[in-house]
Chain A
Amino acid sequence: MAINFILPEFEVERNDYRCIRCRVCERQCANHVHSYDPDGDVMLSDETKCVDCQRCVCLCPTHALKIKKNDAALRTNANWKQNTILEIYKQANTGGVLLSSMGNPEPFPVYWDKILINASQVTNPSIDPLREPMETRVFLGKKPHDIERDENGNIKTELPPQIELELPIMFSAMSYGSISYNAHKSLATAAEALGICYNTGEGGLHEDFYQYGKNTIVQVASGRFGVYKDYLEAGAAVEIKMGQGAKPGIGGHLPGAKVGEDISKTRMIPEGSDAISPAPHHDIYSIEDLRQLVFSLKEATEYKKPVIVKVAAVHNIAAIASGIARSGADIIAIDGFRGGTGAAPTRIRDNVGIPIELALAAVDKRLRDEGIRQNVSLVVGGSVRSASDIVKAIALGADACYIATSALLALGCHLCRTCQSGKCNWGIATQDPELVKRLNPETGKERLVNLLTAWKHEIKEMMGLMGINSIEALRGNRLMLRGVGLNEKELEILGISHAGE
């Protein structure tokens, strides 16, 4: 065998005193890192296969295992970093495009972490959310420009269709195919319990999940997988996916190996065939074309469902959003460059798109300046990691946030970023029945509900300390935010003052 040049990225450290040879690590590793040699009664590890998913570490009953970064290193070079060199070796080995998963891990600025929240002191009272009412419910959709009343004072204006959410959070699109049946079931049942929505992604809706329709956003993407009348009618809203933060401008590819019987039926494609989503929608080459699809979907759903248009955050996002707001869409979803994916070319994931914080601030400002902010609700995603990120997003002008990576983390994901292998040891990003069963959807649902219940408490606490008692009063309230360590231009785009101002 030729030399492959690749250094193992991780090291398995086994505390041999603690190891009782129960072989759980061996049985649980889909990458076959661990094995047992009965001759010497020893556990062996093949570190070249380890992806640092931490499954063995979590299941080891005596805590005998540690997965560490391998300290075997190439000679230090500030220009040619080890990873850069290893990627060259990989490509020289295979001739292929480098693939990665989940969000951009590179050290770009995280603006959430450079924004601080205000609190009430002396001159205005803060609110205790445990003693006073605190409203976290939001409605997403087009809002009327003004209100008309008849001679008796009753409201005549008809409200366009809305999505009602108990808290300003939704699970963003992850297709059945990219994630497992049990992961989808966890999201669907948790969304129902929480009074929010999850999103089918582009892979259609499994027949078992039509019952969660009122908590489902059904997506129509460029591949149009599984789209038909009942599907469109099943959801609380229809989302047109124009782009995804992790890979703006390109399509998707679900390998045929993952298209088993159930996925084939749900996606309405032959079993074993590759599911390829084209880069563009072949019927959308302009805002006018987008408008046609928006209204086709509204016709198909008898104008009862809001239509969301999801785009990736890219350079001209404000102008793009302005166009979408005029296309008849009810909601714009913007996905930042740190958003996750089940597989994307590494170069694209790590180098294309812009941070969601800047995109959100720019879009909100542009729509206000143009007097069309009420035409659409704004939903942002692409690495919203905590309740404070959500509070900051809302204060920057978002109506709600999409979360997905945090939701997968709650389900057990350890961000090993190898979803593309299809061998997810946590039963999330896989279609192998032996691995899928590792995620019990009952546990999954509970963990998701716990996470968002905790976030809800935190959001209420943070609103309370600002003296604000509803999401409505926080939305676009940029005076509640201050930047630290940001330059003039960044502050200008974010529309916030520097701390101390």
Chain B
Amino acid sequence: MKRVYVHEEWCLGCHLCEYNCAFANSGIADMVKALKNKKITPRIHVEEGGKIHYAVSCRHCEDPLCIKGCISGALTKDDEGVVTIDHNKCVGCLSCMLLCPYGCITTDENETVLKCELCMKNSCGAPACVQGCPNRAIVYEEVQE
């Protein structure tokens, strides 16, 4: 399965991925309108410490702990292997947030869970973080293990 990978070597810590993610998932056509004066809730986060930065988003694990812990059946894996969230089913218990070993699950003011769905459900069609990365630090590819 194609996944989003991050090369720490090339990540500049510019945080553009976070803004591109928030914009892609806003459903609004203009970035200024979508993000101006708003606290963004991106599904990708740049982790930083000193001179090291790298963006982290859902790994779409083979055997996802978040799905195992989901009490309402909101989190499922689709045929492609993408872990998706059904906002109508999510009760906001945040068990998945506690279980995710990568800290890739977040929540917004609606109190349901947000996570990377590889931009398959929004109008972007391909991961916005990858498209907008200025240094090809974030890539979307199939890696043979």
Which A residues fall within an 8 A CB radius of B? 17-18, 20, 22-24, 27-28, 58-59, 61-62, 433-434, 437-438, 440, 442-443
Beyond A28-B14, A437-B135, 13 additional contacts (C-beta under 8 Å) are: A17-B36, A18-B32, A20-B32, A22-B35, A23-B15, A59-B16, A61-B16, A61-B31, A62-B32, A434-B51, A437-B12, A440-B10, A440-B137
Distance to closest chain B CB from A185 (angstroms): 12
CB contacts (< 8 Å) of A59 on chain B: these are 14, 16, 134
Establish whether residues B51 and A27, one from each chain, have CB atoms under 8 Å apart when the complex forms: no
Distance to closest chain B CB from A324 (angstroms): 43
Asked if B69 lies at the interface with its beta carbon under 8 angstroms from chain A, I say no
Q: Across the A-B interface, give the 4 residue pairs with the lowest CB-CB distance, nearest first.
A: A20-B35, A22-B19, A440-B135, A440-B10
18 of the cross-chain contacts (CB-CB < 8 Å) are A17-B32, A18-B32, A20-B36, A22-B15, A22-B16, A24-B14, A24-B19, A27-B12, A27-B15, A28-B14, A61-B20, A61-B31, A61-B132, A62-B31, A438-B135, A440-B135, A442-B136, A443-B135
Residue of B nearest to A443 (CB): B136
Distance to closest chain A CB from B33 (angstroms): 10
Residue of A nearest to B46 (CB): A27
A264 to B18, CA, bound (A): 39
Q: Mark B33-65, 1 if CB is under 8 A from A, else 0.
A: 001100000000000000100000000000000
Establish whether residues A24 and B15, one from each chain, have CB atoms under 8 Å apart when the complex forms: yes
A243 to B42, CA, bound (A): 54
Residue of A nearest to B34 (CB): A20
Distance to closest chain A CB from B132 (angstroms): 7
Q: Mark B10-34, 1 if CB is under 8 A from A, else 0.
A: 1011111011100100000001100
A372 to B53, CA, bound (A): 59
Distance to closest chain A CB from B39 (angstroms): 11
A23 to B12, CA, bound (A): 13
CB contacts (< 8 Å) of A440 on chain B: these are 10, 135-137
Establish whether residues A20 and B19, one from each chain, have CB atoms under 8 Å apart when the complex forms: yes
Asked if B9 lies at the interface with its beta carbon under 8 angstroms from chain A, I say yes
A58 to B135, CA, bound (A): 12
Q: Mark B84-120, 1 if CB is under 8 A from A, else 0.
A: 0000000000000000000000000000000000000
A28 to B136, CA, bound (A): 16
CB contacts (< 8 Å) of B134 on chain A: these are 58-59
A59 to B20, CA, bound (A): 12
CB contacts (< 8 Å) of B135 on chain A: these are 437-438, 440, 443
Given A18-B32, A20-B36, A61-B31, check contact A437 B9 (CB 8 Å): yes
CB contacts (< 8 Å) of A433 on chain B: these are 51
Distance to closest chain A CB from B122 (angstroms): 17
Distance to closest chain A CB from B49 (angstroms): 14
CB contacts (< 8 Å) of A434 on chain B: these are 51
CB contacts (< 8 Å) of A62 on chain B: these are 31-32
Q: Which of B12, B19, B20, B136 has the most CB of A within 10 A?
A: B12
A128 to B137, CA, bound (A): 42
A270 to B45, CA, bound (A): 41
CB contacts (< 8 Å) of A442 on chain B: these are 136
Distance to closest chain B CB from A80 (angstroms): 42
Residue of B nearest to A55 (CB): B134
A22 to B136, CA, bound (A): 19
Distance to closest chain A CB from B118 (angstroms): 20
CB contacts (< 8 Å) of A27 on chain B: these are 12-15
A442 to B141, CA, bound (A): 16
Distance to closest chain B CB from A475 (angstroms): 40
Q: Which of A23, A440, A442 has the most CB of B within 10 A?
A: A440
Distance to closest chain B CB from A230 (angstroms): 28
A28 to B53, CA, bound (A): 13
CB contacts (< 8 Å) of B136 on chain A: these are 440, 442-443
A24 to B51, CA, bound (A): 16
CB contacts (< 8 Å) of B14 on chain A: these are 24, 27-28, 59
Distance to closest chain B CB from A443 (angstroms): 6
CB contacts (< 8 Å) of B36 on chain A: these are 17, 20
CB contacts (< 8 Å) of A437 on chain B: these are 9-10, 12, 135
A20 to B135, CA, bound (A): 21
CB contacts (< 8 Å) of B20 on chain A: these are 61
A17 to B14, CA, bound (A): 21
A18 to B33, CA, bound (A): 9
A433 to B134, CA, bound (A): 17
Distance to closest chain A CB from B80 (angstroms): 27
